[in-house]
């Protein structure tokens, strides 16, 4: 209706002239005027070049054009847009899934790090305990070895002391006996020796 | 002759040389004279050596070898020999020799038995007990 009103407004003067021109003969053709407003409208459209067959053909053309446009332009474009939307949605979903997986991976990584930290702490504690035990064992062994060495040294010193004492005692005894023998040899005269011999004979006889 | 047979022969000859349990010089001379006549030289030498050893041992069995420091009267020597004769059950004669290294007292050896009553032995025992 707007399009039609614009057309009517734009061509009001020439159309009025044409209508006036045609109205005169129409007065002569009273039966024609008697056809009614529909015919008038049709005639009016006809005067603008709009008649039924042309309109039908244009409708058909428009339909064909619309079909072609829809079939080969709009529909593929819509399909591409849907595909693009689908891809975008998929990308968003993938991104969300990736974010979730990243969070899970982060959580798993944190858990593994915690476990590794605990394991490292345990290993470190075990190593410290083992080192402490090894140090204690080494200390005990060193102490035992030291004790053994000291005992051996004491025994060797005691043996040396006893040996030395024996040697000294033997040497002193030898010197005493030698001295006594020399003194006796120098001081005993034959009379004394004779008396001693007689005493020995008496001792033998007993 | 083997060594065993030589020893056995020497033992038999020693038995022939004893008179009343004492080695007799006459019997020894007779044994030696008989040996020189009956045995060859190479058989005689080891036999005579074994016979000499046996005679010496037998003479030692009948001797009391007395080593003494200072003077030892013959009566004391005889007393010592009598003691060993009585103890061993055979006649023993004294053979005295002075040895002042004994300091005092005497040492008597009869065969393989030694009796020491000397001052040197006492001093040696004292040194041993002190050392």
* Same domain (yes/no): B56, B68: no
Chain B hits for A169, CB-CB cut-off 8 Å, are: 130-131
Closest-CA distance of chain A to residue B7, Å: 37
- Pick the last residue of a domain from B40, B60, B80: B60
* Same domain (yes/no): B56, B80: no
Contact B71 A180 (CB under 8 A): no
* Same domain (yes/no): B103, B80: yes
Task: Name the helix (H) or strand (E) containing B103.
Answer: none
Residue pair B44/B36 in contact (Cβ under 8 Å)? The answer is yes
- Pick the last residue of a domain from B22, B44, B60: B60
Q: What distance in Å separates the CA atoms of residue A9 and residue B84, rounded to the nearest whole number?
A: 194
Q: Residues of chain B with pLDDT > 90: what percent?
A: 37
Of B72, B104, B131, the CB nearest to A173: B131
Contact B76 A198 (CB under 8 A): yes
pLDDT band per the 50, 70, 90 thresholds, residue A9: low
* Same domain (yes/no): B71, B118: yes
A31-82 pLDDT per residue, tens: 444 467 888 888 888 888 777 888 898 899 999 999 999 999 999 999 999 9
Q: What pTM does this model have?
A: 0.48
Closest-CA distance of chain A to residue B104, Å: 5
pLDDT band per the 50, 70, 90 thresholds, residue A24: very low
Closest-CA distance of chain B to residue A184, Å: 7
Q: What distance in Å separates the CA atoms of residue A35 and residue B76, rounded to the nearest whole number?
A: 213
- List the one residue out of B84, B80, B78 whose CA is nearest residue B62: B84
What per-residue string of b and e applies to A106-144 under the rule 16 or more CB within 10 Å gives b? eeeeeeeeeeeeeeeeeeeeeeeeeeeeeeeeeeeeeee
- Pick the last residue of a domain from B60, B88, B109: B60
* Same domain (yes/no): B45, B7: yes
Of B76, B120, B127, the CB nearest to A197: B76
Structure tokens that stand for A124 in this block: 């470190």
Strand partners, A143: none
> Quick check: A203 contacting B, CB < 8 Å?
yes
What is the domain range of residue B100?
63-130
Chain B hits for A201, CB-CB cut-off 8 Å, are: 76, 79-80, 106
Residue pair B76/B108 in contact (Cβ under 8 Å)? The answer is no
Q: Residues of chain A with pLDDT > 70: what percent?
A: 83
> Quick check: A165 contacting B, CB < 8 Å?
no
- Count how many domains chain B has: 2
Residue B97: helix, strand or coil by DSSP? Answer: strand
* Same domain (yes/no): B84, B35: no
Chain B hits for A196, CB-CB cut-off 8 Å, are: 69-70, 104-105, 119
* Same domain (yes/no): B38, B67: no
Question: What contacts 24+ positions apart, CB below 8 Å, involve B49-55?
Answer: B50/B6, B50/B7, B50/B9, B50/B10, B51/B10, B51/B13, B51/B14, B53/B10, B54/B10, B54/B11, B54/B13, B54/B14, B55/B14, B55/B17, B55/B23, B55/B28
* Same domain (yes/no): B55, B111: no
pLDDT of residue A25: 47
Q: Mean pLDDT across chain A, nearest whole number?
A: 83
Q: What is the DSSP letter of A11?
A: T
| Residue A164, CA distances (Å) to A82, B45, B81, B129 in order | 117, 55, 46, 17
- List the one residue out of B56, B130, B117, B55 whose CA is nearest residue B84: B117
* Same domain (yes/no): B79, B48: no
* Same domain (yes/no): B67, B41: no
Chain B hits for A188, CB-CB cut-off 8 Å, are: 69-70, 103-104
pLDDT of residue A36: 79
- Report the half-sphere exposure of B56 (CA within 13 A, side-chain side): 7
pLDDT of residue A140: 95
* Same domain (yes/no): B50, B14: yes
* Same domain (yes/no): B68, B126: yes
Given its phi and psi angles, is residue B70 left (phi above 0), alpha (psi -120 to 50 degrees) or beta? left
Q: Please state the separation of Cα A7 from the chain's center in Å.
A: 76
- List the one residue out of B41, B16, B42 whose CA is nearest residue B29: B16
Task: Compute the count of residue pairs across chains A and B with CB atoms less than 8 Å apart.
Answer: 79
pLDDT of residue A120: 95
Report A:181-200 residues touching B (Cβ under 8 A): 181, 184-185, 188, 190, 192-194, 196-198, 200
Residue pair B63/B93 in contact (Cβ under 8 Å)? The answer is yes
Task: Name the helix (H) or strand (E) containing A139.
Answer: helix A75-187
């Amino acid at each position: 209706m707007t399009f039609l009103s614009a057309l009517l407004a734009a061509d009001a003067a020439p159309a009025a002239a044409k209508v006036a021109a045609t109205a005169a003969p129409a007065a002569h053709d009273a039966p024609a005027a008697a056809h009614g407003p529909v015919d008038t409208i049709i005639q009016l459209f006809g005067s603008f070049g709009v008649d039924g067959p042309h309109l039908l053909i244009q409708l058909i053309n428009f339909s064909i054009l619309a079909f072609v446009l829809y079939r080969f332009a709009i529909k593929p474009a819509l399909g591409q847009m849907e595909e693009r939307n689908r891809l975008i949605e998929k990308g968003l979903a993938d991104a969300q899934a990736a974010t979730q997986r990243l969070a899970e991976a982060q959580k798993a990584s944190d858990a593994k790090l915690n476990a590794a930290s605990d394991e490292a702490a345990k290993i470190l504690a075990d190593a410290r305990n083992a080192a402490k035990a090894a140090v204690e064992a080494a200390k005990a062994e060193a102490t035992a070895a030291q004790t053994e060495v000291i005992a051996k040294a004491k025994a060797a010193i005691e043996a040396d002391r006893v040996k030395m004492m024996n040697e000294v005692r033997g040497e002193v005894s030898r010197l005493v006996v030698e001295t006594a023998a020399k003194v006796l040899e120098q001081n005993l005269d034959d009379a004394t020796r004779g008396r001693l011999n007689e005493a020995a004979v008496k001792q033998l006889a007993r | 002759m083997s060594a065993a047979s030589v020893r056995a022969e020497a033992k038999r000859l020693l038995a022939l040389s004893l008179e009343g349990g004492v080695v007799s010089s006459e019997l020894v001379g007779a044994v030696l004279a008989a040996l020189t006549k009956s045995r060859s030289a190479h058989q005689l030498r080891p036999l005579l050596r074994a016979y000499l050893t046996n005679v010496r041992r037998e003479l030692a069995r009948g001797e009391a070898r007395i080593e003494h420091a200072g003077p030892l009267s013959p009566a004391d020597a005889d007393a010592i020999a009598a003691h060993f004769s009585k103890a061993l059950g055979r006649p023993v004669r004294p053979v005295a020799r002075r040895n002042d290294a004994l300091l005092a007292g005497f040492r008597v050896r009869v065969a393989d038995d030694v009796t020491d009553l000397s001052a040197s032995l006492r001093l040696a025992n004292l040194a041993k007990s002190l050392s």
